[in-house]
Amino acid sequence: MSYPLPLKTVALIGRQDSPEVADSIVALSGFFQSRGVRVLVETETAIEVSQLSGSAATAGAECGDFACIGATVDLAVVVGGDGTLLHAARQLGRFNIPLVGINQGRLGFMTDIARSSMLEAMSLLMDGKFTPEDRLLLDTEVVFGGASAQWEPLANVAFNDVVIDKGATGRMIEFELRVDDEFIYSARADGLIICTPTGSTAYALSANGPILHPKLGGIALVPLCPHALSNRPITLPDTACIEVRLVQGANARAHFDGQETVDLMPGDGVRLKKSPHRIKLLHPPSYSYFAMLRQKLHWSEGPSIRPGLVVNAPCAKSD
């Protein structure tokens, strides 16, 4: 089994401002401690839990920041929605810490354990019944070559996507795309999404981008409302080095997983490549990627019929 067994230390990370998440953190802390596992609660999560559930709610547990978690734990259990798991993945990606997601959000493409069955699932986790899955992580760099050329390049990571868009204005931006130092095209559009297979079911999906299976080594480029309809989504191998340089658009921005934003000026660029680190997700025995898609995207559902509406009624013959 690829994740460390028996588990010795587990981190608990939760979404903020949620009494339900706080209750789950308390229950999980008690569960793991009862099984002889050391519990480390992420610092901000511990503060939130203490405020919502009382100072003694996680008695016996320790707390620490993400650096401490990365250097200490065998795996991290993340309670919340996909945004909470994204945040944890971005912080812990360089430590190669396996992540388990408990869904208390609305959709949950990555947090695949229901709160109602989380303790049962944790027993299976302790018994080594979960399946690991590696996901692509992107290393990114904003290179300032325009009016802000004196700034040092700004490094970041992306687990879902990088979105370059027009910002708050209504005007399109113009950008140039290069792959492996080869000029591909210049385009005018509202923006461009560069996404991993994990991010293909996020913003890119609403922009008619392709769904990429997590085992596929690919990076999708999805234009946002391009001026030319010939600018279509492209899927590249994950070995590609991608560069997007802004040509026009004084209020453009680059967004990293929707959690960090950098302002761009003409001449600035964003470079992306596969990270040497991978995000390792642990799934329960019942997990199926396609079953998840059927549930979340409501595939194979029958038509919704209003009362009194006749469907497929035979047409009246004309005389």
What is the spatial distance between Cα 96 and Cα 80, in angstroms, rounded to a whole number? 20
What is the spatial distance between Cα 169 and Cα 182, in angstroms, rounded to a whole number? 30
State the angle between helix axes of 118-126 and 19-34 in degrees (0 to 180), rounded to the nearest 10.
30
- C-alpha count within 13 angstroms, C-beta hemisphere, residue 159: 24
Structure token pair of residue 177:
């795309």
Provide the 8-state DSSP code for 204: H
What is the spatial distance between Cα 87 and Cα 65, in angstroms, rounded to a whole number? 13
Taking alpha carbons only, the member of 260, 274, 17, 287 closest to residue 154 is 260
* Residues annotated catalytic, as ranges: 82
Taking alpha carbons only, the member of 3, 296, 297 closest to residue 134 is 3
Amino acid at 141: E
What is the spatial distance between Cα 145 and Cα 243, in angstroms, rounded to a whole number? 13
Helical residues (DSSP H) of 73-217, grouped into ranges:
82-92, 118-126, 203-206
